[in-house]
Amino acid sequence: MKFLDLAKVYIRSGGGGAGCVSFRREKFIEYGGPDGGDGGGGGSVWAEAVEGLNTLIDFRYQQHFFAKSGQPGMGRQRTGKDGDDIVLRVPVGTEILDEDEETVVADMTEVGQRVLLARGGNGGWGNLHFKSSTNQAPRRANPGQEGVERTLWLRLKLIADVGLLGLPNAGKSTFLAATSNARPKIADYPFTTLHPNLGVVGVDRVEFVVADIPGLIAGAHEGRGIGDRFLGHVERCAVLLHLVDGTSEMIAEDYHTIIGELEAYGGHLADKPRITALNKIDVLDDEERAAAQAELEDAAGAPVLAMSGVSRDGVTEVLRALRRQIDEDRLRQKPQVEDAPWRP
């Protein structure tokens, strides 16, 4: 299934049905009086967060969602039928934005959450409502209330506990493949990852979700490369894992490039808890590894971890460091397999 994290939709609630002007006329009844019924209410447009979806691809092929209008009222005090509602089923983690793409209408963060996007119009009153002691034969009825028309944006932000950051080919996809059942595309050229990937990672008998996003380059906030549009998928993460390629000749510059892009993106993303790890140490000898780690620690101003997604050296220590940054209520207990040795 193709990944799509931004979609524009056009919605309109149903208008209310008009009230009816009618009079009761029956044989042998001298004073029939008004009996016009009310119009039915228009259908509303709702959004609901559901399980089993991780993309907005459905909204690429259908952008217009119009609820049914209510039926007009009828004689004999009959009320018109209400219009049917329309429900937009979206993945958990979807933000609903107004047409300006800035005003947040709703943030769908829980399964089953429902939000009213456009309320249906009220049905008009029939002439029975206007009967009084001084006006016993009213010949007026209200028209139905018009529906609401809106243009909205749907923006998906994946629900993950850990977000992977780094330049293209920093080894993020390799790390995700080595620690989870996810199978992201891995190759020796930049921008192999073109859309976010999710994987469930386990360590010390607990599990958490890791999100791998396409690599950033200098100027990503200005649209260079793939840009920074996928950084929204790590906004909800509890902690960020910044991987730096240990084989690079400009380790400090690579580190500051990513930090600069986080700061340019805004949204307090640069202030999130962050763990920095030197990756690809399997191809470095002891002297090269020590020099690269020292350079990265000097750039970060804090101790950094060393690991290799290929040989899995240091991977468990990195996972444990991530686990310590995640609240207990976000962690999930890993299912136990009887008579099977535990492996981190």
212 annotated as ligand-binding: yes
In this structure, are residues 24 and 33 in contact, taking their beta carbons and an 8 Å threshold?
A: yes
CATH architecture type of domain 1-156: Distorted Sandwich (2.70)
One-letter amino acid identity for 252? A
Q: Which residues contact 96 (CB under 8 A, 6 or more apart)?
A: 47, 90, 104, 105, 106, 107, 108, 115, 117, 152, 153, 154, 155
The domain made up of 162-333 has a fold known as Rossmann fold (3.40.50)
- Mean pLDDT over 41-63 rounds to 92
pLDDT value for 194: 64
When pLDDT is averaged across residues 234-262 and rounded to a whole number, the result is 90
CA separation for the pair 82, 84 (Å, rounded): 7
Least confident of 40-49, 72-81, 146-155, 194-203: 194-203
Q: What are phi and psi of 258, to 5 degrees?
A: -65, -45
8 annotated ligand-binding residue:
no
Contact present, 159 and 236 (Cβ < 8 Å): yes
- Whether residue 2 is annotated as binding a ligand: the answer is no
pTM for this prediction: 0.76
pLDDT at residue 170, as a whole number: 86
The reply to whether 232 sits in an annotated binding site is no
Let me know the angle formed at the C-alpha of 200 by 190 and 266, rounded to the nearest 5 degrees: 55
CATH 2.70.210.12 occupies which residues in the chain?
1-156
Q: Does residue 264 sit in helix, strand or coil? A: helix
52 annotated as a binding-site residue: no
**Statement: residue 184 has pLDDT above 90:** no
pLDDT class for 192, splitting at 50, 70, 90? low
192 is in an annotated binding site: yes
CA gap 220, 236 in Å, rounded: 20
313 labeled binding residue: no
Which ranges in the chain are annotated with CATH 3.40.50.300? 162-333
Residue 66 annotated as binding? no
Has 282 been labeled as part of a binding site?
yes
Is 228 buried (19+), middle (13-18) or exposed (0-12) by CB count in 10 A? Answer: buried
Mean of pLDDT values over 215-225: 68
Confirm whether residue 121 is marked as ligand binding: no
103 labelled ligand-binding: no
Residue 81 annotated in ligand binding:
no
Does 309 count as an annotated binding residue? yes
Q: Is 93 helix (H, G, I), strand (E, B) or coil?
A: coil
Instruction: Quick: pLDDT tens for 120-169.
Output: 999 999 999 899 888 888 999 999 999 999 999 999 888 788 989 988 88
- Alpha helices for 166-206 (secondary structure H): 172-179
Tell me if residue 322 falls in helix, strand or coil.
helix
The DSSP call for residue 219 is T
Rounded to 5°, angle at Cα 166 from 162 and 172: 65
215 among the known binding-site residues? yes
214 is in an annotated binding site: yes
264 is in an annotated binding site: no
Strand, helix or coil at 58? Answer: helix
Residue 213 is labelled as binding a ligand: yes
Is 310 labelled a binding residue?
yes
Q: Is 69 annotated as a binding residue?
A: no
Residue 19 is labelled as binding a ligand? no
What are the beta bridge partners of residue 95?
Answer: 107, 155
Compute the mean pLDDT over every residue in the chain, rounded to the nearest whole number: 87
Highest mean pLDDT: which of 13-17, 215-219, 300-304? 13-17
From first CA to last CA, the distance across the chain in angstroms is: 31
pLDDT at 113: 95
